[in-house]
Amino acid sequence: MPGCTSIINLSYQDGSEGSSSNPAKYNNQNYGQLKDNHARQGTKFVDKTFPPNNSSLGDLPNLPSWREAEVEWLRPAEILKRQGISDEAVFCNKGASRFDFGQGSVGNCWFLAAISALTFHKSLMVQVVPMDQSFKDHAGIFHFRFWRFGHWVDVVIDDHLPVLDNNLLSVRSKGGNEFWVPLLEKAYAKVCGSYNDMNSGLPSEACKDFSGGVSMMYELREVHDYDDHDKKLWLSLSNATGCNSMVCCGTAQKGGKLVNTVANTGLVDAHAYSVTAVTEVQYYGSKVHLVRVMNPWGQTEWSGDWSDKSEKWNGVTSEDREKCFDRDDGEFWMSLEDFCHYFLMLFICCENPNFIDGDLSCQWQCMVYEGSWVSGKSAGGSWSNSSFNTNPQYRIEVTKIDETEKEDKNILISLMQKPKSENRKQQRSYPIGVTVYKIPEGVRANLTLLLHTKHISHLKKNRIMMTRFSG
């Protein structure tokens, strides 16, 4: 789409280190050099920074120590041999699809839901998953790219994968001999610290790391009864799918516990899903908004209205009926109303903010500022504190406003907290927020003076809410 440049790409000079065309080398490992060296020597690469042993697996909560001792780390060819599969291992067969995989024994549904959403966006897909890789003369080495806290990184791995009872311990390939998803998962486990460090999370975390784009979170159940909620949500979903966004959602915990019990509706509690499509159908003369959702397990589906076997499909046109496939693949339709009732959160992530107002032709200007809250200097606390004005301040002026477009959005503020530790489970998130004030035209004083003279009006304050999903 012309004019829809990624805002992240606007932050770099093309070719500079950390840009999409020149990602930084994670752990200083050079994929090209390592591959060439091992190919010349006729050896297979072994990654000492993420070794093929249980230190990289971590202490998985659902795997007792005696079973963990039985885990083997095997290369794909050996895995297929153990399984009695004569086909040769392939990296990706006939293009990447959301139907290629099903979740394994690691509680990373949030990550796999994001992969499912990623498969719809080919330009991002080839950025994250270089498709020129194969098992022919590959020297046991692969690489993947992620956007991590401000810059793209190239992550190198060997192709040893954790196996238990001759089957992949974690994400499995439905094609049997296809390995792009298990290898991608291993690369992400490496940047997280271990496979265990991928247990529980938000789909928006992975979507951000797949794009570096703008992420928005929408509450569903809590605000479903508000006026025009469904109308605005449908507009957001329609805009998001039209702007090549990655869309995911999640169900609430049951009894305040992060346990994946399956409700009588077929939905899994405390679980992340991907939204793969939206559509509008005519049901006996009335319009019905439908949302298509996918379970990263690759099975276990919604059983209510508009599910695969629902009689509702008998009341639509033959053309609309073709949208429903009666197969146990984890993907299903449900009405927007039921979607809002049974799901807790919706996450939309896009390379640019165009999905917010649906203006696909708009070209955004990106500005990145790095600051910090330092105790005794710039950590002023919330707006109710007398020291609030010592917080970092940024003044923004919008010079062009199209008043003919009623819902036109002119500015988007995204706040990101960089961790002190690379290891995901050791990262500590602090309560952070942003407050926006409107300054009268012509006033040039700083925030400190304006707060005392009450010359500014409060527009919005926002605090970060954290939820976790474990599948």
pLDDT value of residue 36? 95
271 is catalytic: yes
| Tens digit of each residue's pLDDT, the chain (471 residues) | 334 445 555 555 567 888 888 999 999 999 999 999 999 999 999 999 999 999 999 998 888 989 999 999 999 999 999 999 999 999 998 889 999 999 988 889 999 999 999 999 998 999 999 999 999 888 999 999 999 988 999 999 999 999 999 999 999 888 889 999 999 999 999 999 999 999 989 999 999 999 998 888 988 876 666 666 788 889 889 988 888 899 999 999 887 777 889 999 999 999 999 999 999 999 998 999 999 999 999 999 999 999 999 999 999 999 999 999 888 899 999 999 999 999 999 999 988 887 877 776 777 777 778 888 888 888 888 877 888 888 888 888 777 777 776 666 778 888 888 877 677 777 777 788 888 887 777 766 666 656 555 555 555 555 444 455 555
With vertex at residue 227, the alpha carbon angle to CA 224 and CA 229, rounded to the nearest 5 degrees, is 45
- Of 375, 351, 256, the closest CA to residue 7 belongs to 351
One of 199, 244, 295, 352 is an active-site residue; which one? 295
Whole-number pLDDT of residue 430: 78
Question: Which domains does the chain show, CATH number per domain?
Answer: 11-198 (no CATH), 214-349 (3.90.70.10)
Question: Alpha-carbon dihedral of residues 432, 438, 444, 446, nearest 10 degrees?
Answer: -30
Give the span between the Cα atoms of 455 and 450, in whole angstroms.
5
Model confidence, pTM: 0.87
- Report d(CA 309, CA 324) in Å as an integer: 9
Sole residue written with tokens 């449900």: 334
- Indicate if 249 belongs to the active site: no
Report helix, strand or coil for 20: coil
Q: 305 near 268, Cβ under 8 Å?
A: no
Q: What are the structure tokens assigned to 24, written together?
A: 């930084």
Is 452 among the residues known to form the active site?
no
Task: Indicate which residue of 38, 151, 271, 289 is catalytic.
Answer: 271
Which candidate in 4, 54, 92, 109 is catalytic? 109
Q: Which tokens go with 180?
A: 């792009």
User: What was the pLDDT predicted at 125?
Assistant: 94
Contact 426, 193 (CB under 8 A): yes
pLDDT of residue 320: 92
